[in-house]
Amino acid sequence: MLFAILIGFLWACVLVFAGTQLKGRAAILNAIVPVGLFVYFASFIPEVLNNGPILKTYQWVSSMGVDLNFNLDGLSLIFVLMITGIGAMVFIYTSAYMKGSAHLDRFYGYLSMFMASMLGLVLSDNLITVFVFWELTSVVSFFLIGYNSRQEDSRKAALMSLGVTGLGGMLLLGGVILMGSVGGSYSIQELLNSGVVFSESSSYILILFFIIGAAFTKSAQFPFHFWLPLAMKAPTPVSTYLHSATMVKAGIYLLLRLSPLLGNDPSWNNTLMAFGGITMLYGAWHTLFRTDLKSILAYSTISALGILTFLIGIGSEEAFLAALIFILVHALYKATLFLVAGSIDKASGTRDILKLGGLAKYMIPVAIAGFLAAVSNAGMPPSFGFLGKDLIYEATLGTGTMAIFITAAAVITNVLLLYAGFVAGIKPFVGRLPEELVDDVRKLSPVIWLPPLILGVLCLVFGLFPFIGESLVRPAVEAVAGEPYDFHIKLWHGFNIILLLSGITIASGFVLYFLIRPSQKKVDLMEKADFIGPLSFTQLSSIGFERISLMWTRFFTSGYVRYYLIAVMIFVIGVVGYELFIGTHVYMDFATLKEVSFYEMGTILIMILGIGVAVFSPSRLTALAALGVLGYAICIIFVFYGAPDLAMTQFAIDTLTVILFVLVLYRLPKYLKLSDTRSRFRDGVIAISFGLLITLLILEVLGQPVNRELSAYYAENAYLLAKGKNVVNVILVDFRGIDTMVEITVLAISALGVYSLLKLQMQKSDIE
């Protein structure tokens, strides 16, 4: 299972070296990867249906509770089949749709990486690895959405999607860490088996905020929905793959997966129902005011995601069943409609519904695919969408006192979605072809119209044979509901209230379709109201944040090292000094100190004298010599206290420092007073305060009990393990050899930098 996840990343690496050979007609060979993975995961269907989940564990960072645990159960099985199955159609479609693209190999690499990231997300049983793959999907989608990097709109859309979903990633990280802390494990299965009740934890509300916020950003719930229509700037294969079956459903998957742990609580259920209800109505309503095919499909996708969130919020077994069936329904018809929209754009050069019509005779297979998808989207029998819509109504009717209002909202949403589906899937093919397109419609390759036709036919097949969807969904419902649920999906349930609601939905949708015509006036009207939308608020917030960041940077990033040092010292003095002031302290007993000898006192007086000369000398060279005297005096102190090796090291460093300073001073202008009396007084106060603080810290450290276990270990093992009698040298070279090597590397890099600055000869033109 691990290799199945990694193969997408490995294939992307292969494309780096073999990408040029997989362009043109050979590009279709890229579809081997998702097709093979689809067959691989499909082979597990009998085992999952009959024997239950398949668990695989690979050790990773076990000491921190993070392992590569993968769980193929009913829920993850549905998602991996969608990811690989629809992925295979997209890979095939891309080979013809993007034929001639200069960076087709790169595009396929991004698609492969995204497929692998999604597989890792839905298969992971560890919350930390869920987060890792979650972030990978955001990063890779950034490159896919911004694939046309020369277009400013594409770059902005990619940044917006990354910003919103990146925020969700931060929220998810906080949520999973809290869940692991409360539950004592990051394994989802262990949390389920432990019986931990998160709703009883004091952190429950915070966990909900993090998890729900992450899911809402990824699955485009109001008010985070705006990134999805912007992402339609991406090539059509990206829109099909990311925004119908995979990325936008990652948040839905997260809610379903964690429902057994976080659900069955009013805070969870009411939040999902409220935001899901708003999103499904908001998205469906916006489809009335759009004329671009992909824009219509984007807002209808937002509405569908709202329906799924709404159903998960209801939390009943009937609602979970409806949500899981609708996930499959939506993936099939929405992927078909996106591919149809791309085919229309490829053939006619436009996606504007106001300029389209009569295309059926030019692209019959695409027209059939669009019709089948529109019928399933409308929930008309005998399509798969008919089953999904009936199950939605069955779930809403069982919600108790609010059933009437909840069901009415679902009916209104489905009516508007029927309109959107007909506009996108049927309207471009009926009527008369505009005169300006008569000579411009191009013939499509079978590789372009075959994938949408296959998916469109599946919309009908799953409806005619409901046992297919039932067998796939049954273990998924059990995984989400936490217990077995007996149900049977049928195409015909007799005359009942649900059938009546379906009839009302279809009839009202037809009336709406024939009464309301798309127009540019509606688009302009909606654009005038955009200033009060979440997108406008986000853009204004971004501008404000950028301005504040610029002011903050200009204030703190002055370019002068002395101000940075002053800021650091004041902060340390304030924080550490406050702790020293309010804390309980045990200072060392001065009575235990030895008497100070006259030569030690003499050395200290030399140090004080050196400090005074360095501070008040008007000559740089004199000040430098005084600092050298100070360094050598410290070396003598080390000798007094039995550390000759440390003294020699300090002696070498001070000597080298003085020499380097002399070389630098040779390049500098004559001594100038660049600070006034006030600045020097300020610097003196800060320096004395910082020195006093360090002195107090040292005294407190010396007064604390000493644990010499580590010192004893080094002393005992220096010769035994490293064959060295000098313990300090052994520690530096052997026990902490890597640390020492890094320090040497840093010093070498610094020396190279200093040398390059000394040798740099700036030309006048460079300065200007």
* Stretch 569-586: mean pLDDT: 83
Cα angle 550-553-559, degrees, rounded to a multiple of 5: 130
CB atoms within 10 A of CB 173: 18
State pLDDT tens for residues 251-302: 999 999 999 999 888 999 999 999 999 999 999 999 998 989 999 999 999 9
- Whole-angstrom Cα Rg for the chain: 34
Judge whether residue 227 has pLDDT over 60: yes
pLDDT for the residue numbered 584: 66
pLDDT for the residue numbered 676: 77
Higher pLDDT, 19 or 118: 118
Nearest Cα to Cα of residue 281 among 379, 423, 389, 414:
414
Confidence of residue 311 (pLDDT cuts 50, 70, 90): very high
* Stretch 483-510: mean pLDDT: 87
Lowest mean pLDDT among 107-121, 529-543, 572-586: 529-543
Domains of the chain: which residue ranges?
A: 266-518, 714-768
Amino acid identity at 299:
Y
Confidence of residue 309 (pLDDT cuts 50, 70, 90): very high
Asked if the peptide bond before residue 381 counts as cis, ω within 30 degrees of 0, the response is no
Stated pTM of the model: 0.78
pLDDT for the residue numbered 68: 86
CA 267 vs. chain centroid, Å, equals 25
Answer yes or no: are the C-beta atoms of 397 and 353 closer than 8 Å: no
Higher pLDDT, 171 or 519: 171
Backbone angles phi, psi at 59, to 5 degrees: -65, 140
Answer yes or no: are the C-beta atoms of 226 and 301 closer than 8 Å: no
Judge whether residue 728 has pLDDT over 90: no
Answer yes or no: are the C-beta atoms of 189 and 71 closer than 8 Å: yes
Lowest mean pLDDT among 200-214, 300-314, 671-685: 671-685
Confidence of residue 31 (pLDDT cuts 50, 70, 90): confident
Provide DSSP, 440-484: TPPPPPHHHHHHHHHHHHHHHHHHH-HHHHHHHHHHHHHHHHSS-
Cα(633)–Cα(152) distance, rounded to whole angstroms? 64
* Stretch 692-711: mean pLDDT: 81
Look up residue 757 and give its two tokens: 């600055």
State pLDDT tens for residues 392-404: 999 999 888 888 9
Confidence of residue 670 (pLDDT cuts 50, 70, 90): low
* Stretch 120-126: mean pLDDT: 93
pLDDT for the residue numbered 168: 92
**Lookup result for tokens 């993070």:** 66
Q: Which of 330-334, 617-621, 763-767 has the highest mean pLDDT?
A: 330-334
Beta bridge mates, 292: 352
Interhelix angle 403-425/266-286, rounded to 10 degrees, is 40
Judge whether residue 762 has pLDDT over 60: no
State pLDDT tens for residues 54-104: 988 888 877 777 888 899 999 999 999 999 999 999 999 998 888 877 788
pLDDT for the residue numbered 439: 67
Provide DSSP, 190-246: HHHHHT--GGGSTTHHHHHHHHHHHHHHHTT-TTSTTHHHHGGGS-HHHHHIIIIIS
pLDDT for the residue numbered 765: 44
State pLDDT tens for residues 106-119: 888 899 999 999 99
Cα(389)–Cα(329) distance, rounded to whole angstroms? 9
Confidence of residue 764 (pLDDT cuts 50, 70, 90): very low
Cα angle 388-392-393, degrees, rounded to a multiple of 5: 120
**Lookup result for tokens 């004199």:** 622
State pLDDT tens for residues 465-481: 988 888 899 999 988 98
Q: Which of 155-159, 213-217, 739-743 has the highest mean pLDDT?
A: 213-217
Confidence of residue 767 (pLDDT cuts 50, 70, 90): very low
pLDDT for the residue numbered 494: 76
Q: Which of 125-129, 239-243, 555-559 has the highest mean pLDDT?
A: 125-129
- Distant-in-sequence contacts of 447-451, Cβ < 8 A, 24+ apart: 447/28, 447/92, 447/93, 447/95, 447/96, 448/93, 448/96, 448/97, 448/342, 448/343, 448/346, 448/366, 449/343, 449/363, 449/365, 449/366, 449/369, 450/92, 450/365, 451/89, 451/90, 451/92, 451/93, 451/339
pLDDT for the residue numbered 751: 84
Provide DSSP, 249-278: GHHHHHHHHHHHHH-SSHHHHHHHHHHHHH
pLDDT for the residue numbered 34: 92
State pLDDT tens for residues 184-200: 889 999 898 888 888 88
* Stretch 23-49: mean pLDDT: 88
Cα(324)–Cα(75) distance, rounded to whole angstroms? 8
Q: Could you tell me how many helices (H) and strands (E) the chain has, helices first?
A: 32, 2
> How many percent of the chain have pLDDT more than 70?
95
Cα(549)–Cα(588) distance, rounded to whole angstroms? 46
Higher pLDDT, 276 or 725: 276
Cα–Cα distances in Å, from 315 out to 280, 575, 661?
Answer: 17, 49, 73
Q: What SS3 state is found at 284?
A: helix
Judge whether residue 731 has pLDDT over 90: no
The mean of the pLDDT values for the chain is 87
